[in-house]
Amino acid sequence: MATEQPTKQKLWGGRFTGKTDPLMHAFNQSLKYDQRMHDADIRGSIAYAKGLTKIGILTPQEESKMVEGLKVVGKEWADGVFVPQEDDEDIHTANERRLAEIIGPLAGKLHTGRSRNDQVATDMRLWLLDNVDDIEQSLKALLNVMVERADNEKEYLMPGYTHLQRGQPIRWAHLLLSHAQSFKCDLERLQQLIPRISVLPLGSGPLAGNSFSIDREFLRKELGFQSISENSMWGVGDRDFIVEFMMWASLTMTHLSRLSEDLIIYSTAEFGFVTLSDAYSTGSSIMPQKKNPDSLELLRGKSGRIFGNMAGFMVTLKGLPSTYNKDLQEDKEPLFDTVDNVSASLKIAEGVIATMNVHSEKMRQALSADALATDLAEYLVRKGVPFRETHHISGRAVALAESRRCQISELSVDDFKKLDARFGDDVMAVFNFETSVEHRASIGGTSLAMVQRQVDILRAALKN
* Across 117-146, average pLDDT: 97
Mean pLDDT estimate for the chain:
93
Total number of domains in the chain: 3
Q: Is residue 236 very low, low, confident or very high in pLDDT (cuts 50, 70, 90)?
A: very high
**Among 27-41, 368-382, 428-442, where is mean pLDDT lowest?**
27-41
* Across 229-245, average pLDDT: 97
Domain encompassing residue 457: 369-463
**Among 15-19, 163-167, 226-230, 368-372, where is mean pLDDT lowest?**
15-19
Q: What are the pLDDT digits (tens) for 412-456?
A: 999 999 999 999 999 999 999 999 999 999 999 999 999 999 999
Domain co-membership, 59 together with 127: no
**pLDDT at 163 > cutoff 90:** yes
Q: Is residue 26 very low, low, confident or very high in pLDDT (cuts 50, 70, 90)?
A: confident
Residues belonging to the active site: 163, 284
The CATH code of the domain that includes 307 is 1.20.200.10
Q: What's the pLDDT score for residue 57?
A: 97
Q: What's the pLDDT score for residue 1?
A: 41
Domain co-membership, 95 together with 189: no
Q: What's the pLDDT score for residue 464?
A: 82
HEC string of the chain equals CCCCCCCCCCCCHHHCCCCCCHHHHHHHCCHHHHHHHHHHHHHHHHHHHHHHHHCCCCCHHHHHHHHHHHHHHHHHHHHCCCCCCCCCCCHHHHHHHHHHHHHHHHHHHHHCCCCHHHHHHHHHHHHHHHHHHHHHHHHHHHHHHHHHHHHHCCCCEEEEEECCEEEEEEEHHHHHHHHHHHHHHHHHHHHHHHHHHCEECCCCCCCCCCCCCCCHHHHHHHHCCCEECCCHHHHHHCCHHHHHHHHHHHHHHHHHHHHHHHHHHHCCCCCCCEECCHHHCECCCCCCCCCECHHHHHHHHHHHHHHHHHHHHHHHHCCCCCCCCHHHHHHHHHHHHHHHHHHHHHHHHHHHHHHCEECHHHHHHCCCHHHHHHHHHHHHHCCCCCHHHHHHHHHHHHHHHHHHCCCHHHCCHHHHHHHCCCCCHHHHHHCCHHHHHHHCCCCCCCCHHHHHHHHHHHHHHHHC
Domain co-membership, 330 together with 447: no
pLDDT above 90 covers what percent of the chain? 89
The CATH code of the domain that includes 389 is 1.10.40.30
Q: What's the pLDDT score for residue 14?
A: 54
Domain assignment present for 432: yes
**pLDDT at 298 > cutoff 50:** yes
* Across 104-121, average pLDDT: 96
Domain assignment present for 416: yes
